[in-house]
Amino acid sequence: MVTARLVLRPWAEAELRAVCSGDRLPGWAPDFPAEGDQVIAGFLAGQPAARGEWGHRLVTEREGGLVVGSIGLFWPPSAGSLEIGYGIVASRRGRGYATEATAALAAHGLRAPGVHTVTAQVETANPASVRVLEKAGMLLVSSADGVARYALGTG
């Protein structure tokens, strides 16, 4: 999947192994992988289906091809809904990458069979992530116990 400035591509086996073992590969931002990327890589290593058409991807800058984060839809859907999660490394934040990637992958997720809603959860103490979701077109549906829930779609 290609956006104006990014390529959202599936994780390769070698990338999963490198992140899980703490190795570095060429073409990664100096601060990739972040802690969240390490958690996702560990999850994906045992879940090949989570890397398919509707699953998790690396966020790569189109110009230069540098891996700067990860994003994913948590498959399979539940009651017609998919949850999205994302993270951009600190050195590349503030450029709108998270918003661009979230908007693109959420739209993609809404095309999945049987899916009518893409959701996200964010801690209300993380205003930057709240702005990402709002700028990506997601609407606040509830907030409780310091967690805001957002949704995009018809459900």
Question: Which residues, in sequence order, are bridge partners of residue 82?
Answer: 118
- CA dist 13 → 44, 46, 145 (Å): 10, 11, 38
**Residue listed under structure tokens 């859907």:** 77
35 Cβ neighbours under 8 A, 6+ residues apart: none
Classify 27 in phi/psi space as left (phi over 0), alpha (psi -120 to 50) or beta. Answer: left
pLDDT value for 119: 97
pLDDT value for 108: 95
Q: Are 97 and 57 in contact (CB under 8 A)?
A: no
Q: How far apart are CA 50 and CA 18, in angstroms?
A: 18
pLDDT value for 50: 76
Phi, psi dihedral angles at 102 (to 5 degrees): -65, -45
111 Cβ neighbours under 8 A, 6+ residues apart: none
- Rg value, the chain, Cα: 15
Bridge-based pairing state of the strands 6-10 and 147-153:
unpaired
- Given 3.40.50.2020, 2.60.40.420, 3.40.30.10, 3.40.630.30, which CATH number is that of 6-153? 3.40.630.30
Residue-wise pLDDT tens for the chain (155 aa)? 999 999 999 999 899 999 999 999 999 999 999 999 999 999 888 777 777 788 899 999 999 999 999 999 988 899 999 999 999 999 999 999 999 999 999 999 999 999 999 999 999 999 999 999 999 999 999 999 999 999 999 76
pLDDT value for 155: 66
pLDDT value for 54: 81
pLDDT value for 45: 85
HEC profile for 29-94?
CCCCCCHHHHHHHHHHHCCHHHHCCCCCEEEEECCCCCEEEEEEEEEEEECCEEEEEEEECHHHCC
pLDDT value for 55: 84
